Amino acid sequence: MKTVTRPLWDFLLVLSLLCGFVGLAYASDLYDRINDWLLEYEHWQLDEFFLSSTIAMPLLAWYAWRRQQEAVQETYLHRQSEMALREAHNALEQRVAARTQELNRMNFTLQAEVAARQRVQEQLSHDTLHDALTGLPNRVLFLDRLRHAIEFAKRNEGYHFATLFLDIDHFKVVNDSFGHEIGNQLLIGMAQRLRLGLRSGDTVARLSGDEFVILLEDTKGGLDASMTAHRIQAELKQPFSLSGYHIFASASIGIVAADQAYDQPEDVLRDADLAMYKAKVHGKARYEVFKLTMREQAQTRIELENDLRYALERQELKLEYQPIVALPSEQITGFEALLRWHHPQRGLIAPLEFIPIAEETGLIVPIGAWVLRKACLQLQTWQTRFPQSPPVTMSVNVSGTQFAKSNFVDLVKNILREVGLDPTTLQLEFTESVWLNSSPEVVAMFKQLSDMGIQLQMDDFGTGYSSLAYLQHFPIRMLKIDRTFLNKMDDDNKNKKILHAMIAMAHDLGIETLAEGVETIEQLNHLKRLNCNYGQGYLMSRPVDPAAIEKLLNAQRLKHARLGQQKYSQRRRQKANTSVQVAEASA
């Protein structure tokens, strides 16, 4: 057996304890190696030598203290680690909470932006399909619903629908008289009244301007549509109260009952519009149901409009003249220029057929200028060839559309200067609708014409919107009494009294009167008894061409010459008789 000396043991023991400075892990490993070595040599345990060593107790105390310090250090480091981990964990939780709060705030903001964008999108979608002024569906939405109705009617044999097309009568007059603000209020009020009485499935929409449409679904043929039109007309009999004004408004209505096959909603609106136009032509404030003949008439009207645009260039327009006679003397004192259209295929077209088309399209402006220049040239020729005192005059009708042009007064001045015509021999006729506009600009235009010496006439007096205020505010020289009063004069004593009152009133105001439509001797004699100044009608002469007028003027000149010769001869005979009587008395 190998032996180990005491000093060696002490050395090994001290060495093992000093290993604590290096670290417990290293000391424990060295301790195990030494112990294994001792056991290999003498089979002793290191603990026995350690306990028997003289330095064992101090070293053991130091070792225990050292281990305690290391334990304290380890505990401190462990706690420091735990605190660091806890602080890191808390900091992480705070960052997570802050980030979560920020994400929540961003999510809330995003949701608010999405909601606002959805509201804007919904508003844009609503504005796209609705009228901004009245809030009603617009043309796009109405056509979409009408398209669904057409498709549903094709799939269901018993399903019917109807479309009503409405246009406010005289809406432009309301705008011109009261302003666009009142006009807009009238449109809003009209929309509210049209909603009344409609079912939830029906649709009322505003197309544009003063045009409205109604879609009646699941109807019983045209009866429901007619009843709805009657109800609307009854509602409109009550005035609209708008900013202190009480305004009455009527509407012309066209009805399409979908008994016919339609494929496109635009075709339904087209036919309803045609029926509405027919209602306006027949007097407004009424309704008309569409018939296929209306479409044919509309096609004819379109062809007339196209042909009318070239009528001036092709020299298809002509003027005829109707004499105006002074009733006391039955002498021709003037003429009215009347427009005629000789169509190359259709022949003579009545003015009532093409004049409204010319006014609606604006063609009346160039046509009216041509008429005025042509009539003035003709009058100048007749005044030169057939002089009389006072000279003959010419009456020319002026359209409201033509007069509304700002250069109308300048046009008249230029034509008079070019022709060299005396302005006092030109008479301009305006219908009562023109006199309705009493704006300062219109009053100034009338004054300029009057100051030039031109005589202003009110045509068709006694019909339409007659008002005595016109006779006060405007420089009217002559009232042209409508032919309807003469036509009913023989059968109705009231018309005689009305006619007498109009003539007497005009004379009291210093205004001359002219009765048109004189066709019988009885009418002529009655007008003479009423002291009417002038007459015009088939009894004197129909409208004729310039050559026929020249024959009338020549015949009148010869008649005057014969009368003059007779008067001259009569005066000579009277003078001769007087001389004989004087001679006899002297003898």
351 and 497 together in one domain: yes
- Domain membership of residue 436 (yes or no) is yes
Q: Which residues are within 8 A (CB) of 109 and not within 5 positions of it... i.e. 6 or more apart?
A: none
* pLDDT > 70 fraction of the chain, expressed in percent and rounded: 80
Both tokens of 455, joined, read: 């005589």
Q: Do 439 and 504 fall within a single domain?
A: yes
| Total of domains in the chain | 2
Whether residue 317 is found in the same domain as residue 261: no
Element (H, E) at 340: strand 331-343
The per-residue pLDDT for 380 is 96
Q: Are residues 151 and 274 in the same domain?
A: yes
Range of the domain at 497: 304-544
**Greatest CA span in the chain, whole angstroms?**
225
Domain CATH for 278: 3.30.70.270
Residue 173 lies in a domain: yes
Q: Which of 435, 539, 531 is nearest to 483 (CA)?
A: 539
Q: Of the ranges 6-15, 105-114, 274-283, which one carries the lowest mean pLDDT score?
A: 6-15
Quick one: pLDDT at residue 44?
A: 45
Same domain, 280 and 315: no
Residues 511 and 466 in one domain: yes
Q: Which residues fall within 8 angstroms of residue 198, CB to CB, at 6 or more apart?
A: 204, 214, 216, 228
Work out whether strand 331-343 and strand 317-326 pair parallel, antiparallel, or are unpaired: antiparallel
39: tokens are 């056991």
Q: Are 311 and 279 members of one domain?
A: no
**What is the amino acid identity at position 558?**
L
More confident residue, 111 or 34: 111
Residue 520 has what DSSP assignment?
A: S
* pLDDT exceeds 80 at position 315: yes
* Res 46: pLDDT: 47
Which candidate, 123, 275, 251, places its Cα nearest to that of 187?
251
Rounded-to-integer distance, Cα 301 and Cα 360, Å? 12
Domain of residue 445, CATH code? 3.20.20.450
Do 427 and 367 lie in a common domain? yes
- CA angle 417/423/429 to nearest 5° reads 115
User: Are 511 and 478 within 8 A, CB to CB?
Assistant: yes
- What's residue 37's pLDDT? 57
Q: Tell me the per-residue pLDDT of 141-161, one tens digit each, with 9 for 90 and over.
A: 999 999 999 999 888 888 889
**Which has the minimum average pLDDT: 39-53, 59-73, 238-252, 474-488?**
39-53
pLDDT value at 585 more than 90: no
Q: Are residues 201 and 268 in the same domain?
A: yes
Whether residue 506 has pLDDT greater than 70: yes
The predicted-structure confidence for 344-359, as pLDDT tens digits, reads as follows 999 999 898 899 899 8
- Say if residue 229 is in the same domain as residue 335: no
Between residues 160 and 54, the one the model is more confident about: 160
| pLDDT for 30 beyond 60 | no
- Over 90: is that where the pLDDT of 19 sits? no
Q: What pTM, to 2 d.p., does this model score?
A: 0.64
Residue 464: is its pLDDT beyond 70? Answer: no
Joined together, the tokens standing for residue 92 give 């992480």
pLDDT at 125: 75
Residue 178 has pLDDT above 60, yes or no: yes
Closest by alpha carbon to 227, among 202, 190, 192, 206? 202
User: What average pLDDT does the segment 543-564 reach?
Assistant: 85
Question: Do 215 and 312 sit in the same domain of this protein?
Answer: no
Residues 324 and 179 in one domain: no
